[in-house]
Chain A
Amino acid sequence: MAKIISINPITRLEGHGKIEIFLDDAGNVSNAYLQVPELKGFEQFCVGRPVEELARITTRICGVCPTAHHMCSTKALDAVCNVKPTATALKLRRFIYDAFMAEDHLLHFFFLGGPDFVVGPDAPPGERNILGVIGKVGVEIGKKVIDMRRRIRSIITHLGGRVIHPVCGLPGGVSKGLDEDHRLAFHKIAKESVEFSKFCLQIFNDIVLKNDTYLDLIVGDIFKHETYYMGQVDANNKVDLYDGMIRVIDPTGKEYAKFAGKDYLDHIIEHVEPWTYMKFPYLKNVGWKGFEDGINSGVYRVAPLARLNVSDGMKTPLAQAEYEKMVATLGKPFHHTLAFHWARLIEVMYVCEEMVQLLEDKSITNPDIRNLPKEAPTEGVGVIEAPRGTLIHHYKTDENGLTTNVNLIVATLGNSAAISMSIAKAAKNLIKNGVVNDGLLNMVEMAFRPYDPCLACATHSLPGKMPLIVNIRDRNREIIKSIKRD
């Protein structure tokens, strides 16, 4: 008898997420579906708004990564208004963005992804949260984590007006400059954040990489997918989060495409399924072959692991050294989904080092923070690497600068097909002949958590259970077995 295992909700993907796993008559996994049961319709309700207001409206797509949407939108506005930001504005935007990336990634490591390793995949579920991490590394360090996050976020509050839904981005620049006092204060925070990144990488090294069981898990087949990868790189093919060209590599590691963000429609297209409100982007010129791995399937992956895959390394010395260590350990391209965690920490190191670099240059306090647009707004595309992947905002306006069309390729979506595949693969490896046990929950969670599905937020910040329930239902949808964390 066929059964359905329902995991509802998984940690959030831009709202709510649900995974349905189907078992065949023999009790083996036949398929898994990632469903997003919500749609907000930003593409439509941005229409009619003055285009510059979109930078303040689209932040509400995601309150966890509002700075990603804000900066992407601001870049789209530069293009729409055909205005180049001033040199100082570019430095400030990059600095704000680095601060955002650091706090967002750190939150994920300590609150969301880290507990799997720091506390351990076999630890009692009630301990696999931030408090478990604090228990393992000590209360003082726990407080240090909270404090580091608070101080990095204070940078965004100061320059962006607010940290949840910042407002400083305008076509041609930013609305607020940096004074010397704050440059010095933030320089101190940035220096400390570099030390903090070293500490995080040390934890990862000591607890994960030195543990053969964990290392086997990382390099093992259960959490592996050979897909295309997409990410933004600079002129030297180094990882660049704020600007650059979009580079795509195939599953063998060869460059498949490299294009400017404005040409995204030549390369990315979305598939629609009737069973989810979420769309599935794929590589247009490879084609949609379903939820499949391999060189013939257009499924691609984004976010930290993908960015490291498509690049030739990192721009800053400490991040580059750690990148080289990762290459030596795992070999490129990295197909190991669990290695997202490592890649994420390398990016933290990079952005913290870059913050220091930007603040050491006094010119960041120059007053030239805006170029006023001189032309009537028309059409433009903005691209940025959000924590969770390549993010694209595309706007068109009428002659008065009122929005007529909006298209968004949201970062998390880039991994939407791959997350389904990862869940299915983990489930298939674990569920045999109808036997389901609590271990499934750990493994299933560990299959989607590396992607950081847009819930670097409040999750796991409090003692308690993980948001997972697995219901095994018969054909009549009657629950015949329920497994929960408690």
Chain B
Amino acid sequence: MAKPKVAFYWCASCGGCEEAIVDLNEDILKVVELVDIVFWPCAMDFKYQDVRNMKDNEITVAFINGAIRTDEQEEMANLLRKKSQLVIAFGACSHMGGIPGLANFWDKETIFESSYGKDCPSVDNPDNIVPLTISSVPEGELKLPAFHNTVKSLDQVIDVDYYIPGCSPAPYLTMKAIGAILAGELPKKGTVLAPEKSLCDVCERNETKPEKMSLTKIKRISEVIADPEKCFLAEGIICLGPVTIAGCTNEGSGRCITANMPCRGCYGPPPKITDVGVKMISALASIIGLEGEENMSEEEVEQLMSQIEDPAGYFYRFSLPKSLLRRKRMN
């Protein structure tokens, strides 16, 4: 019997998801025995044409990492969807937009200005040159993919079957997912292939989390020396543990809180939470001591939020494109 065919592709990403595959270490040799990797631009012959020549659904599973920012990425996502039985959004950028999704606080022009314009102190660009999709050089014409105004998660562009969360995903999640695919034991379509519990549920600092916390001040991590054993929230330090999947709790997967740094939510929310920001505001409201936060007046909400500088940047660090906000409206 022919081995299942697997494809890996990257969109707007950093390469960390590729490193996360290499971090399978010796396990990667097992994977290669079980499947044929038919497409992996960073490791193999890169040809759109090869993928186009494949029959529809010929690829068993495509792992796509990175957010969608350019038309080339969108085109590749569509092509891989057509050729693959399963598409898995791999990593936080593909899952929720990720860190590149923070660009949705601005638009294309502002981003170009900060990179190539007078706002950039190290640029010498008197003619205000910016990259163009088509430009002329003495020898001919050069093309670049168009840069979209808004960063999208993969499922905002194509139909996605499953998600492997994390920035970057812990290797054990990848191995488990590959095992489930090969065994044909996949859960309901749309499932995030990770534990359902929140980081708070399994956090070893949980014991120090009081039933009811009452804080008067939110502290920034740079201003304090955090107690290495105490719940960050109990100390007034913002931690997204209550609203984040405990994907990082396996040995060897790496976890920010083991370095005494609070969670920033890269694994995304557990299944029942639809919007991280809304849930986090409500969690903080109860922590800060505002009773009946669901009945809070606008002023009270504002007063609460004013203690937290850059709430959107904390709560939607990895998920702005997928949030209720999606992007900032530009005038």
A407 to B123, CA, bound (A): 10
Minimum C-beta distance from B113 to chain A (A):
8
A2 to B253, CA, bound (A): 52
Determine, out of A271-279, A318-326, A348-356, the stretch whose residues face the partner at the interface.
Answer: A271-279
Among residues of B, the one whose C-beta sits closest to the C-beta of A268 is B122
Chain A residues near B167 (CB-CB < 8 A): 60, 165
| Interface assignment of A161: CB less than 8 Å from any CB of chain B | yes
A281 to B20, CA, bound (A): 31
Most B CB atoms within 10 A — which of A33, A107, A170, A274?
A: A274
Chain A residues near B121 (CB-CB < 8 A): 265, 394, 405, 407
A466 to B46, CA, bound (A): 8
Contact B309 A274 (CB under 8 A): no
- Evaluate whether A53 and B12 lie within 8 angstroms (CB atoms) in the complex, with A41-B111, A269-B124 already known: no
A119 to B274, CA, bound (A): 52
A274 to B137, CA, bound (A): 9
Chain B residues near A77 (CB-CB < 8 A): 222
- Evaluate whether A157 and B254 lie within 8 angstroms (CB atoms) in the complex, with A39-B115, A60-B98 already known: yes
Which residues 1-60 in B have Cβ within 8 Å of A in the complex? 12-23, 25-26, 28, 32, 37, 40-47
- Evaluate whether A400 and B254 lie within 8 angstroms (CB atoms) in the complex, with A43-B114, A63-B18, A467-B42 already known: no
Q: Interface on chain B toward A: helix, strand, loop, or mixed SS? A: loop
A48 to B110, CA, bound (A): 14
Query: Which of B114, B132, B314 contacts A275, CB < 8 Å?
Result: B132
Query: Which of B32, B135, B228 contacts A463, CB < 8 Å?
Result: B32
Chain A residues near B41 (CB-CB < 8 A): 9, 467
Contact B42 A457 (CB under 8 A): yes
Contact B144 A49 (CB under 8 A): no
Chain B residues near A273 (CB-CB < 8 A): 129, 131
Contact B114 A41 (CB under 8 A): yes
A43 to B16, CA, bound (A): 20
| Interface assignment of B259: CB less than 8 Å from any CB of chain A | yes
Contact B259 A160 (CB under 8 A): yes
A222 to B260, CA, bound (A): 51
Chain B residues near A82 (CB-CB < 8 A): none
Contact A271 B124 (CB under 8 A): yes
Chain B residues near A11 (CB-CB < 8 A): 42
Contact B120 A43 (CB under 8 A): yes
Determine, out of B100-108, B186-194, B290-298, the stretch whose residues face the partner at the interface.
Answer: B100-108
Contact A461 B22 (CB under 8 A): yes
Contact A40 B100 (CB under 8 A): yes
Contact A33 B310 (CB under 8 A): no
Minimum C-beta distance from A13 to chain B (A):
10
Chain B residues near A454 (CB-CB < 8 A): 15
Chain B residues near A45 (CB-CB < 8 A): 102-103, 105-106, 111
Query: Which of B37, B123, B259 contacts A270, CB < 8 Å?
Result: B123
- Evaluate whether A458 and B254 lie within 8 angstroms (CB atoms) in the complex, with A20-B142, A274-B132, A275-B135 already known: no
Contact B14 A61 (CB under 8 A): yes
| Interface assignment of A50: CB less than 8 Å from any CB of chain B | yes
| Interface assignment of B184: CB less than 8 Å from any CB of chain A | no
Contact A272 B45 (CB under 8 A): no
Among residues of A, the one whose C-beta sits closest to the C-beta of B17 is A63
Which residues 242-279 in A have Cβ within 8 Å of B in the complex? 264-265, 268-277, 279
Query: Which of B45, B116, B132, B256 contacts A279, CB < 8 Å?
Result: B116
- Evaluate whether A168 and B259 lie within 8 angstroms (CB atoms) in the complex, with A272-B123, A484-B45 already known: yes
Minimum C-beta distance from B95 to chain A (A):
14
- Evaluate whether A464 and B44 lie within 8 angstroms (CB atoms) in the complex, with A163-B254, A275-B137 already known: yes
| Interface assignment of B255: CB less than 8 Å from any CB of chain A | yes
| Interface assignment of A373: CB less than 8 Å from any CB of chain B | yes
Chain B residues near A401 (CB-CB < 8 A): 220, 222, 309
Which residues 113-148 in B have Cβ within 8 Å of A in the complex? 113-116, 119-125, 129-132, 135, 137-140, 142, 144-145, 147
- Evaluate whether A40 and B12 lie within 8 angstroms (CB atoms) in the complex, with A31-B138, A460-B43 already known: yes
Known A43-B111, A146-B25; further 20 A-B contacts with Cβ < 8 A: A33-B137, A35-B142, A38-B69, A39-B147, A52-B220, A56-B264, A63-B15, A64-B16, A161-B254, A272-B125, A284-B124, A372-B223, A400-B309, A402-B310, A459-B42, A459-B43, A461-B43, A462-B37, A464-B40, A464-B44
Q: List 6 A-B contacts (CB under 8 A).
A: A43-B111, A147-B26, A162-B248, A269-B124, A275-B132, A462-B43
